[in-house]
Structure formats: C-alpha cells, structure tokens
Amino acid sequence: MSEHELQAIFDRKIENEVKIEPKDWMPDAYRKNVLRQMSQHAHSEIVGMLPEGNWITRAPSLRRKVALLAKIQDEAGHGLYLYSAAETLGTDRERIVLDLLEGKAKYSSIFNYPALTWADIGAVGWLVDGAAIVNQIMLQKTSYGPYSRAMIRICKEESFHQRQGYEILLTLCRGTEEQKAMAQDALNRFWWPSLMMFGPSDKDSPHSAQSMAWKVKRMGNDELRQKFIDQTVKQADFLGLTLPDPDLKWNEEKGQYDWGQIDWEEFYNVIKGNGPCNKERLAARQKAYDNGAWVRDAATAYAKKRAERKNKEAA
C-alpha cells in the first residue's frame, strides 16, 4: 500500500473515532507527538513523587502517613503503566527515561514548586490532582488506544487522591487558627501554578492545533482551565478559604467565572529551568539512576546466570 493510501486509512480512523493501535500505520509526526505527550505524562508521575515524598517521614499521623505512601505508590504505578504504554510507540523505557535526565523531555512544571508544609500535601492532592483529572478525563477519549486505556485506569485512582487531598485541607480548616492559616497559605502558593498546568493559551501553544486535529487532545487548554476553575471555586468556598485572585467573579451571562491574569513570565521561566526546585528534582532522578546502576547490573547478571544454569540442567 502506498503511503498515500495508508494516510487515508489513518485519517478515516481518526474521523470515525476508531482508536489507533500500536501495529497500525501512523504518520511519523503523530507517533512523535503522542510519544512526547505520554512520556511527559509518565515523567510527571515519577517526578511528582518527590515533593510529596518529602513529607512521608513527617506526616502528622499514622493514618495520613500510610495514605500518603499509598498515594505515591499509585503514582509510581501510573508511571510504570504509562512508560509501558509509551513503549508501544517503538521507543524503549531506558531511552525515554534518559531523555528526561538529559533534559530533552519535560515533566509538568508544577512539580518544580516545593512542598513546604503539611497543608501542601492537601493542596497538591486537591488542586494538582484535580487539574490533572480534568485533563485526563478528556484524554480518556484520546485517539491513541494504549494511551486512552491507560487514562481510563488512572483516572479512577486520581479521583480518590483528589478527595484525600481535599479531606486533608478540610480537617485543617476545621482545626485551629494555625492549621487554617497553613491551609490558606498552601492555597495561595499552589493556585496559580495549578492553573498553569493546563499550559499556555491555545493561541500560544505550539502543539495544540495539531493535537486537536489528530484528536490526541479533545479540548483546548483554555477550555480545560475554565472547567477546572468553575468546579474548584465552590470547593474552596466550602473549605472557607479564599482563592488568591481579586478578579474572580461569577459571570451570569457566560455562566462561568471571570478571573485574573496568569503570570506567564513565571510559567516560561519555570519551564526554562528557573523554578524553585527544577535543579533538585532532576538531580534526585539522576542520583537514583546513577546509584541504582550497579543494582540493575547485578539483577541482569544474576538472571543471566540463572538462565544458563537452568539450560545446563535441562541439557
């Protein structure tokens, strides 16, 4: 079949909402685009373990400690699952991970912000997982089959995480003045970076239009961001916390909230590496990779020896 015919089949599938599967022909640019998104997503899960991991040993109760550990374990599981799904595009996990360490692949900028207090663990669950879910619900319908299936599975656990985070903040807000102040401070620091998670406005987003045409993405960045804001305002009200945006106001006519201006300079700065924890996060991943090399080598060598012994016994 000519490339022209293959392209036509691919286009028809996209048009008719038929998923693209690993063995199907797909344009190189599509493969690259999906791999970029999936690997970025997988890296985010893994790097995202670090700010939360920072609080495991200091969690204020055994119940919270266990819940936090279990949440981070889920994230490692999501990372693993996404790396495997990404590998179906023909690049192996080792290469995908090296791209992160070599600075060629990105992860969500939100994880370059520090988790400074226990309330941050609540805010991360509520806002960061909350924003991630809005994005992931949309991605359940993405055109690449393995990615879509990964999202369906991951979404269920993420909503549990979000409720857990919200519940941490609810406990703080019903607690002492000091606890409530801790919650407000966390919200003040995480609100705007959470809105930035949806990426630049569609008109400034380099990949948006093509991703939408391929149905890799099903909704624009601005639309998703608005959806997240609209659902989060009520939740903040219920906590008795104030969102740090003086321009936030219900717009009766539009049936949605009006809100202020994202500091895009901060966003681009953090992407370029100038965020509070960019260096630490990558350094932590690099260190784990380097320090683990001899362990991985040993496991490989042992597996080989064991296989050889088995072969000998069989012979």
Partner 1 sequence: MEKKQALFNYLLRLADNSAILGHKLSEWCGHGPELEEDIAIINTALDLLGHSRSLYTYAGEVEGKGKTEDDLAFLRIEREYKNALITELPNGHYGDTIARQYLFDQFNYLLFIELEKSSDETVAAIAAKAIKEIRYHLRRSIEWTLRLGDGTEESHAKIQEAFDDVWAYTGDLFVQDDSDLVIIAEGIGPDLKAIQPIWREKVKATLAEATLLIPEDGWMHSGSKQGRHTEHMGHILSELQYMQRTYPGCEW
| Look-up of token digits 């055994």 | 62
User: Are the C-beta atoms of 91 and 35 separated by less than 8 Å?
Assistant: yes
294: contact with partner 1 by CB under 8 A: yes
Pairwise CA distance, residues 269 & 22, whole Å:
36
Least distance (Å) between residue 245 CB and partner 1: 28
Q: How many helices (H) and strands (E) does the chain have?
A: 13, 2
Which residue, 128, 87, 113, is CA-closest to 228? Answer: 128
Find how far residue 39's CA is from the centre of its chain: 10
How many chain residues interact with partner 1 (CB under 8 A)?
50
Spell out where the chain has E strands.
Answer: 249-251, 256-258
Total Cβ atoms within 10 A of residue 127: 27
Pairwise CA distance, residues 224 & 255, whole Å:
15
Q: Between 73 and 251, whose beta carbon lies closer to partner 1?
A: 73
183: contact with partner 1 by CB under 8 A: no
Contact pattern from residue 38 through residue 77 relative to partner 1, giving x for each residue in contact according to CB under 8 A and a dash for the rest: --------x--xx--x--xxxxxxxxxxx--xx-xx--xx
Least distance (Å) between residue 294 CB and partner 1: 5
Least distance (Å) between residue 89 CB and partner 1: 18
Least distance (Å) between residue 241 CB and partner 1: 17
Buried b (16+ CB within 10 A) or exposed e, 62-82: eebeebbeebbebbeebbebb
Contact pattern from residue 90 through residue 129 relative to partner 1, giving x for each residue in contact according to CB under 8 A and a dash for the rest: ----------------------------x-----------
Q: Between 209 and 303, whose beta carbon lies closer to partner 1?
A: 303
Cα angle: 198, vertex 127, 69; to 5 degrees: 120
Q: Choose which of 14, 33, 79, 113 interacts with partner 1 (CB under 8 A).
A: 79
Map residue 256 onto helix, strand or coil: strand
Least distance (Å) between residue 49 CB and partner 1: 4
Q: For residue 273, what are its two tokens?
A: 């590496």
Which residue, 40, 7, 39, is CA-closest to 24? Answer: 7
Give the DSSP H or E segment for 304: helix 278-314
Q: Which stretch binds partner 1 (CB under 8 A): 5-13, 98-106, 272-280, 294-302?
A: 294-302
Q: Between 22 and 175, whose beta carbon lies closer to partner 1?
A: 175
Which residues, 185 to 224, sit near partner 1 by CB under 8 A?
Answer: none
Q: Between 56 and 236, whose beta carbon lies closer to partner 1?
A: 56
Helices 129-139/145-173 angle, 10° precision: 150
Q: HSE of 268 in the Cβ direction (CA atoms, 13 Å)?
A: 7
Least distance (Å) between residue 216 CB and partner 1: 25
Q: Between 168 and 233, whose beta carbon lies closer to partner 1?
A: 168
Contact pattern from residue 133 through residue 172 relative to partner 1, giving x for each residue in contact according to CB under 8 A and a dash for the rest: -----------------------------------x--xx
286: contact with partner 1 by CB under 8 A: no
| Interacting residues toward partner 1 by CB under 8 A | 46, 49-50, 53, 56-66, 69-70, 72-73, 76-77, 79-80, 83, 118, 168, 171-172, 174-176, 178-179, 284, 287-288, 291-303, 305
